[in-house]
Structure 1
Amino acid sequence: MREISLDRLRTLVEVADRGSFADAARALHLAPPTVSLHIAELEVRVNAPLLSRKRGQVQPTAIGEVMVERARKLLADAEQALDDIQRQVQGLSGRVRLGASTGAIAHLLPQALDVLRQDHPGIDVQVAVLTSHETLVGLADGALDIGLVALPQSQVAGLAIKPWRRDPVMAFLPAHWASPARITPAWLAAQPLILNDATTRLSRQTTEWFAAGGHHPVPRIQLNYNDAIKSLVAAGYGATLLPHEASAAPSDARITMRPLRPALWRELGIAHRAGHVERSTQHVLDVLWMLRAK
């Protein structure tokens, strides 16, 4: 079935509004025979007359009135679609799909979203809680636009992965515990522990940190939600190792933070598809880079 051209519908609306083929031709910058051809093609397509000529005045038929009404809606929808797309091309609006771990989402991402809301309120950021591996797969498949991933990562064809932040991993302890100024693997391994689950990069890092000192502690519980872990620490259930962002809100008064010996760092990177970056995505990237830390 042959589709109806929007140009033909625009011609029909113009003739109906002006009541004249000649006036419609001038308004559309078309030759009068072209206007007549457009109307004839539409009438052949619907197999019914759409316009009638009475006393020199061109008016829609009953079927023509329905066609004109529908044509106005279709033309308005088409104009709105083009306007929406143009706004996205200009970076004034758009949807950006971002994948990140719970650690990044908890403190870092809200800061970026607050700045974005003020500077670019038309941009909608959709956040998915994913592991770094899942995020990179989503980027490669086109399901995501930006990813916050743990480093190091192997290079992935078609993706750009750049270092973003380097934050210290600290010991979070119940405040009522007596503890040394710097926490060693030997001291911490003797305490009840609440650690990240084995699917996370931080879990592998902390396992290696303990192992370097010859320790292989078994945690009381493993979670993948840092705020839930901190709540358990505050309740005195155990100690944990978590990254600490300098811009994060102060810890609960029931929690004491201590640096590690040897030091341990959580490194994050920003990943996105290489090549052309849409403006809305670039605006989100720019805000994220403002939160860069060394």
Structure 2
Amino acid sequence: MLDPVRLRVLVAVAARGSVTAAARELHYSQPSVSHHLARLEAETGAKLVQRVGRGIRLTEAGRLLAERAAEILGRMESAAAELTAHVGLRAGRVRLAAFPSALGTFVPAAAVRLADDHPGLDLRLAEAEPPEALRMLRAGDVDVAVIFRYEETGPEDDGIRLTHLFDDPTCLVTPVGIGGADDADHADDAGSVGAHAASRWIAGCDRCRSHLLDLCSRAGFEPRVSFTTDDYVAVQAMVAAGLGVAVLPTLALSAHRSPGIRAVELPGSVRRVFAATYGEPPDPPATAALLTALTRGEPRGGHAETLFAAIRPRDQTFSP
């Protein structure tokens, strides 16, 4: 049986005239396009392309198959559109990957909204930090990836489309007693990264660690990272135990608040939270419905501010 993915590659090469242009249109690498063509030739037993100078051109067999493939793919897309219109999102599946503190805060509210609007739609959830979530998205393992980016985070791959959800401020997290009410001599320490140049630091995932290094660099020092974990519960427990200080986003503090820590919002330090999709618009109806649920900030039982009010601690001490 002919693989529709490889047929789509052949149609793109025929339409664009080169492997490079086809790869750009499909958001594939050039080696990936060449691999699909080679596999298609092996499956059909026919020579479909031939090299001409530094480029390629379709053989007669290649042109014939490309014409038929365009018809086949068009019929498949029409059938999918007709089926979607018939089902009307009363059934089907949509898959979401999100980082842990998103799953612990606003994603469940979005899942409730989606279920209210489309009771027959099956939502599958997976936990993944942004790089893994984006890999799953590109591989087709999920339909939407909820990710975060800092100012210094590098650009995402071509083909990734980002829908901004909200900005998530970050906080300096220290043990109670450092800059707290019981330590007035060091009250300024709680809100200053630079005041902890000599402290041990607890770092998080790769993107969070990069942000920590950037914050400390701007404060004029390189942090002494003693522990690394992307478990925000463990980070707070270590801080409370006096093993170091950390920078955490407010979503993490909203999802879990350990006793014995003090959290102070850092001015100008935010991570931006996005819903990522892959490929050219329009999105499939189920994906579009999930994006609507994520961006419509009115959880059942209260307005959006109800959900996010707890996500902005400015100067809070969490103690027994």
TM-score using structure 1 length: 0.61
Are 1:254 and 2:252 an aligned pair? no
Moved more, 218-227 or 251-260: 251-260
SS of corresponding position for 2:191 = coil
**In 2: Cα distance, 1:250 partner to 1:102 partner:** 11
Q: Does the 8 Å CA contact 2:175/2:262 hold for their aligned counterparts?
A: yes
Post-superposition CA distance 1:18-49 (Å, at most 9, x none) = xxxxxxxxxxxxxxxxxxxxxxxxxxxxxxxx
Q: How does 1:1-294 map to 2 (within 5 A)?
A: 89-151=87-149, 154=155, 156-178=157-179, 179-181=186-188, 183-197=191-205, 200-245=206-251, 248=254, 251-260=257-266, 263-273=268-278, 274-291=280-297
When residues 100 and 153 of structure 1 are mapped into structure 2, their CA distance, relative to the original with a 3 A threshold, is farther
- Structure 2 letter corresponding to 1:143: D
Root-mean-square deviation (CA), in Å?
Answer: 3.1
SS of corresponding position for 2:105 = helix
Structure 1 residue 272: deviation in Å?
0.8
Q: Does the 8 Å CA contact 1:168/1:265 hold for their aligned counterparts?
A: yes
SS of corresponding position for 1:136 = helix
Moved more, 119-128 or 282-291: 119-128
When residues 223 and 103 of structure 1 are mapped into structure 2, their CA distance, relative to the original with a 3 A threshold, is same
- Structure 1 letter corresponding to 2:275: I
**In 1: Cα distance, 2:110 partner to 2:169 partner:** 20
**Alignment size in residue pairs:** 208
When residues 218 and 247 of structure 1 are mapped into structure 2, their CA distance, relative to the original with a 3 A threshold, is closer
When residues 144 and 192 of structure 1 are mapped into structure 2, their CA distance, relative to the original with a 3 A threshold, is same
The match for 1:11 is none
**In 1: Cα distance, 2:87 partner to 2:133 partner:** 25
Structure 1 residue 228: deviation in Å?
2.2
Post-superposition CA distance 1:119-152 (Å, at most 9, x none) = 4343332223333233223222322200112235
**In 2: Cα distance, 1:100 partner to 1:87 partner:** 29
**In 2: Cα distance, 1:271 partner to 1:116 partner:** 17
**In 1: Cα distance, 2:232 partner to 2:86 partner:** 35
Structure 1 residue 112: deviation in Å?
2.0
When residues 172 and 286 of structure 1 are mapped into structure 2, their CA distance, relative to the original with a 3 A threshold, is same
When residues 278 and 235 of structure 1 are mapped into structure 2, their CA distance, relative to the original with a 3 A threshold, is same
**In 2: Cα distance, 1:287 partner to 1:167 partner:** 19
Structure 1 residue 269: deviation in Å?
1.6
**In 2: Cα distance, 1:94 partner to 1:153 partner:** 35
Moved more, 213-222 or 148-157: 148-157
Post-superposition CA distance 1:68-96 (Å, at most 9, x none) = xxxxxxxxxxxxxx9xx669941223221
**In 2: Cα distance, 1:251 partner to 1:138 partner:** 30
SS of corresponding position for 1:275 = coil
**In 2: Cα distance, 1:88 partner to 1:201 partner:** 43
TM-score using structure 2 length: 0.56
When residues 247 and 207 of structure 1 are mapped into structure 2, their CA distance, relative to the original with a 3 A threshold, is closer
Post-superposition CA distance 1:237-294 (Å, at most 9, x none) = 332111114993673442211122x531111221113323232222211111124989
Q: Which runs of 5+ in 1 are unaligned?
A: 1-81
Q: Does the 8 Å CA contact 1:93/1:280 hold for their aligned counterparts?
A: no
When residues 268 and 191 of structure 1 are mapped into structure 2, their CA distance, relative to the original with a 3 A threshold, is same
Q: Which runs of 5+ in 2 are unaligned?
A: 1-79, 180-185, 298-303, 313-320
Q: Does the 8 Å CA contact 2:144/2:275 hold for their aligned counterparts?
A: yes
- Structure 1 letter corresponding to 2:228: Q
What is the aligned-residue identity percentage?
A: 24
- Structure 1 letter corresponding to 2:227: I
